[in-house]
A = this chain, B = another copy of it.
Amino acid sequence: MTGRALPLEGVTVVDLGQIYNGPYATFLMAQAGARVIKIEPLNGENMRRRGAVGGAMVPFAMLNSNKEFVSLNIKSAKGKRILEQLVEKADVLLENFAPGVMDRLGLGPDDLFKINPRLIYAAGSGFGWSGPYRDYPAMDLTVQAMSGIMSTTGYPDRPPVKAGPAVADFSGGVHLYGAVVTALFERERTGEGRFVEVAMFDAVYAANSSALGLYFGSGGEAPMRTGNRHSGMAEAPYNVYPAADGYIALICVSEQHFTSLLEAMDRTDLASDPRLETLKSRVANIDFVDEVVSGWTAKRTRDDLYEKLRKHRVPCAPLRDLGEVVHDPHMHARGMLQKVEHPLLGELVLPTSPMRYRDEPERKLKPSKALGADTAEVLADLIGFDALEVEELRKEGVV
């Protein structure tokens, strides 16, 4: 039952993305079958340049599989013209420069719609193309600070702390993917292109729903960080508990879960303790609840706890480090993670797309390549340049 084409086959994307935000959006497009032409400046995209520092090239490899690699100086007159010629043939142009950069180059949405009115012009940025913060500097850390993410992350007795993953960059990137594909769908019906944009700042707002509930519910008193306890302080047990060899996350969101937990602990005698009888009484006695659970978990290993609690259908999970995650048998079995021999970096584990389509062809990662590796082929294929012309452009510093 495999062998249907990938859903975005036939779609061509001109990708000016850099760092995480833009490249993740176009990575998802490439994984869904689009032809993604990654355009880099002659000294390479920002993340490629960081490759000098140990390991810094890995994120570039993670986000740029299955793309084609073109070097192009879009600040030169000839380079700009080439970009326009690529846009003529493309369905999507995506960039995540600061707002205004492309307009100043004469390559903004209005310029490019004149060349291709069916184009989807997609812009990712920190704060968006409108509003008072439009030109404020934005990176993952600053967006995490501004958006309230840090204020809800960490232990209440310590300063606020960032979420370890670059959640602003990546949330912005996948929302931008969604906006592009939505506009592609619309274009099938209307024939018209669109300018679409996503701000990282907007993209992370909803994820604070639990804490926002508490904020409004408490009449405007901003919620504190709760460590690993429930953001709304409305569930107990709900925490990360010590195990003999690490930690285990454990949650009871229904009375049944709590009853099952007591059964797993062999402590059904506690069911009638007034501090534990109802969700309300447990939340009121949260320290006691955590003490009871910790006392049990601390004597057992993560794996023993996970197995036992799963049998009793109590939501839980071992806390794992990245080494365990990279070699996770589940993600490898599903093809989400794949071992590849990277031409520049050697053996590596790289991700595919989280979006899965039944009957899709087998997932094959094509590792990222050297800067400009596909320049000649792409310019020949889409614009009709011959090898000599490309060589000339190379000498002139255009490609």
Contacts and interface: CB of A to CB of B under 8 A. Distances in A.
Please classify the interface of chain A as helix (H, G, I), strand (E, B), loop, or mixed, using the class held by over half of its residues: mixed
Interface in A135-151: 136-139, 141-151
Interface in A212-233: 212-218, 220-223, 225-228, 231-232
Interface string A249-290: 101010000000000000000000000000000000000000
Contact of A317 (B146, B333, B354): B146
Contacts of A201: 330-331
A100 to B, nearest CB: 14
Contacts of A316: 137, 142
Contacts of A325: 146-148, 205, 208
Contact of A142 (B172, B221, B317, B326): B317
Interface string A67-100: 0000000000000000000000000000000000
A97 B202 CA distance: 28
Given A137-B313, A151-B321, A225 B131 contact: no
A343 interface: no
Nearest to A123: B356
A46 to B, nearest CB: 8
Contacts of A182: 7-8, 32, 181, 355, 357
A388 interface: no
A128 interface: yes
A184 B183 contact: no
A226 to B, nearest CB: 8
Contacts of A50: 234
A315 B136 CA distance: 8
Interface string A159-197: 111111111011110111111011111101100101111
A142 B238 CA distance: 10
A152 B163 CA distance: 8
A211 interface: yes
A366 interface: no
Contacts of A198: 354-356
13 contacts: A10-B189, A28-B178, A54-B217, A55-B214, A131-B331, A145-B248, A150-B319, A151-B322, A155-B158, A164-B226, A185-B188, A199-B336, A205-B354
Given A32-B182, A137-B314, A163-B167, 4 more contacts: A62-B206, A152-B164, A153-B163, A172-B354
Interface of A: 4, 7-8, 10, 20, 24, 27-28, 32, 50, 53-59, 62-63, 109, 127-128, 130-133, 136-139, 141-155, 158-167, 169-172, 174-179, 181-186, 188-189, 192, 194-199, 201-218, 220-223, 225-228, 231-232, 234, 238, 240, 242, 247-249, 251, 253, 310, 313-326, 329-331, 333-334, 336-337, 345, 348-349, 351, 354-359
